[in-house]
Structure 1
Amino acid sequence: MSPVIRPAAPDDAPAACTVLRRSILESCAADHRHDQARLDAWLGNKTPAQVVAWMSAPANHMLVAERDGALVGVALITQGGKLSLCYVLPEAQHCGVGKALLGAAEAKAREWGVGVLRLHSTTAGSGFYARHGYVNAGKDKTCYGLECEVFWKKLDAEPGAAGTPGKRFCNCTGS
């Protein structure tokens, strides 16, 4: 069954928070390595109140995915062209939920006139983004101190034509 993708509502915050926390805890072990200090930093702002704040910010658009009436995924895009969240419950992964969320987030970015979408990916998510046309621009550190992969995708390009593999995204205009 295909997931239902819709804008998030404040009542979704507790379930969205559960999706975020479970996905990080259960699917991102290669990133947090069960280090409690890393987990505390990463999970510290994953609270229902913070999720409501994120979805209420005018420059953000949060989406949720439902399957069989249960919330199984959450994504957040900013008007600045950043995919800040794209998380799916472990039992709902590899079933089209992430793909549907990503497609809806990209559609919203195009609606806003965003030409390039960028994101920081976990180790677990890197292959997913690469399969969906994102170009790996190398490594970075998140604000939580985790090493991540930086990805970008030109949204006005034809599907599968995100750029030359290995090319780094740079918004400078120099040669």
Structure 2
Amino acid sequence: MSFTIRPAIAQDADAVCGVLRRSISECCEADHRSDPAVLAAWLGNKTPQTVTSWFESPTNVSLVALRDNTVVGVALLTGAGKLALCYLLPDVLRQGAGKALLAEMEARAVALGMKTMFLHSTLTAEGFFAAHGYRRDGNVRAPYGIDTVLFWKPLVEHAAAPDSQRKRFCNCNSA
């Protein structure tokens, strides 16, 4: 199955919110354990207004994955090299959309001169990132109450994770 990857635009915000909310609610149960307080905190900033502000930030790179002109995935990279979002609709998992989003985001990061990327992965997604060359660098407790895994990946030969990327906290609410 093929997916189209393109830059996200403000008009994608409603659809992206649907992707984020469904992915977190349905795919990340092992992380939130159906705890209403954790879910409310995690989903709290997943609004069209907030998502639009993320897309319009000049320091972020935002991409969407489309299947049949429908948004089925989203990825967002901050200017600091943090992959702050990488989410898919549950019905497109393991069909190549995540791999396509990640590959395009890594290519864009290299084009911007970034030597590494880092992220805070859910426990649910850690196998995906490990399979795509990301290196575990410890555990991090997210502000909304779940445990995450800090990962980083060299994008160019002999790149090392800068100290600024070894932060032991998550800025997910400010992505």
Give the alignment's TM-score, normalised by structure 1. 0.90
- The runs of 4+ residues in structure 1 deviating greater than 6 Å are none
**After the TM superposition, which residues 4-83 of structure 1 pair with which residues of structure 2 at under 5 Å, given as runs?**
4-83=4-83
Match of 2:122 in 1: 122
Paired residues of 2:140 and 2:147 also in contact (CA < 8 A): yes
Q: Using the alignment, how far apart are the partners of 2:159 and 2:103 within structure 1? A: 14
Give the conservation status (yes or no) of the 8 Å contact 1:133–1:162.
no
CA contact (8 A) 1:134 1:151 kept: yes
Contact kept? 1:79, 1:112, Cα under 8 Å:
no
Equivalents in 2 of 1:49, 1:170: separation in Å?
32
Supply the distance in 1 between the matched residues of 2:72 and 2:138 (Cα, whole angstroms).
29
Deviations for 1:125-170, whole angstroms, at most 9, x for unmatched residues? Answer: 100000000001111111222110010000013xxx988xxxxx55
Tell me how far apart the structure 2 counterparts of residues 75 and 45 of structure 1 sit (CA, whole Å). 16
Query: Aligned Cα RMSD in Å?
Result: 1.6
Distance 1:135 1:146 in 2: 20
Please list every run of 5 or more consecutive structure 2 residues that lacks an aligned counterpart in the other structure.
165-175
Number of matched pairs: 164
- One-letter code aligned to 1:43: L
Provide closer, same or farther for how the CA distance between residues 162 and 121 of structure 1 changes in structure 2, counting only shifts above 3 A: farther
Distance 2:105 2:142 in 1: 21
8 Å CA contact retained: 1:28, 1:122: yes
Q: Is the 8 Å Cα contact of residues 76 and 84 (structure 2) preserved in structure 1?
A: yes
1:171 aligns with 2:163: yes
Instruction: Note the residue ranges of structure 1 that are not aligned, 5 or more in a row.
Output: 164-168
For the residues of structure 2 that align with 1:18 and 1:171, how far apart are their CA atoms?
35
Distance 1:46 1:28 in 2: 15
- Normalised TM-score (structure 2): 0.90
Structure label with greater radius of gyration: 1
Q: 2-side partners of 1:162 and 1:97: how far apart? A: 27
